Amino acid sequence: MSKISAVLFDYDDTLAATYAPRVLAAEKAAEGILSPDLDMDRIMREWAGRPQMEIFRELSKDEDLAKTLFERYTTEYWRLSPTHVKLFPGVRDMLDALRSQGFRLGIVTSKPRLLKNDDGPFGVELELQRMDLMSTFEVVVGWEDPEEPKPAPAPILFALDKMGLEPGDAVMVGDSHIDITTAKRAGTTSVGATWGTLARDMLVETGPDHLIDSPDQLLPLVQS
């Protein structure tokens, strides 16, 4: 691997296990609005990596209805988050090891970074603060920041611009085919992280440059 100075991470199901509360929140949001026959677990697995608002747009085919679904989802997810969302084992040690070796870290997620609604603020920064990780990352790019979400290259390019880096200076680590496609389009090295992936076959088929099965495999990879 060429000289790498920065590591960008997806957040959901790469750093933190968020799938269970996301499915519960999506099911709650859909109650009484979408067909009860929808298999939300399958939908969330197949569309992993896409912004939740986009998923609701696809399901409802109506912008106002999608907004209502997203509002209901947001309320339920952030109610569940404090008790349901945890880092994957080994992730904190991985982040500490990368920083100790001088790597600059960032997050590029399809989750909102920090927004507000009638219930108050919500976004990935709240979870990072709760887990005492905000200072770990030089940049956090959320759904609302770039002009286009993943799998467009804009989120990664936005992060790199904030860091003053070029695509060749960084790797992008993610659990979904969306993350890998985004990395390829942005020109960064792509690393598939399998420990939290919801659709390993789709991840592998996208052809990541590297595939790792545990967090402790990342530091040796970026140092090689």
Q: Nearest CA to 69 among 110, 114, 33, 19?
A: 33
Q: What does the block give as tokens for 196?
A: 């939290």
Domain boundary pick from 58, 84, 110: 84
What is the per-residue pLDDT for 120?
82
- In this structure, the answer to whether residues 200 and 97 fall within a common structural domain is yes
Specify the amino acid at residue 186.
Answer: A
Query: How many structural domains comprise the chain?
Result: 2
Structural domain containing residue 197: 6-17+87-223
Identify the sign of the CA torsion 177, 141, 121, 80: positive
Query: Are 7 and 98 spatial neighbours (Cβ–Cβ below 8 Å)?
Result: yes
What pairs with residue 16 in β-bridges? Answer: 12, 87
Predicted local confidence at residue 26, as pLDDT: 95
Residue 2 is predicted with a pLDDT of 66
**1: in domain:** no
Q: Name the phi and psi angles at 193, rounded to 5.
A: -105, 115
What is residue 213's predicted lDDT score, i.e. its pLDDT? 97
How many Cβ atoms sit within 10 Å of the Cβ of residue 71?
15
Per-residue pLDDT at 118: 81
CA distances, 206 to each of 15, 184, 199, 210 (Å): 20, 10, 11, 11
Both 117 and 219 in one domain: the answer is yes
Query: Do 50 and 60 fall into the same domain?
Result: yes
pLDDT for 117: 82
User: Of 39, 66, 84, which residue constitutes the final position of a domain?
Assistant: 84
Whole-prediction pTM value?
A: 0.93
Residues 203 and 162 in one domain: yes
Question: 121 and 69 in one domain?
Answer: no
Same domain for 194 and 174? yes
Q: In terms of domains, do 12 and 23 share one?
A: no
Final residue of a structural domain among 33, 63, 84: 84
Any idea what the CATH number is for the domain that residue 119 is in? 3.40.50.1000
Contact 208, 29 (CB under 8 A): no
Same-domain check for residues 192 and 135: yes
Q: Which residues of the chain have pLDDT under 50?
A: none
Contacts of residue 164, Cβ cutoff 8 Å, sequence gap at least 6: none
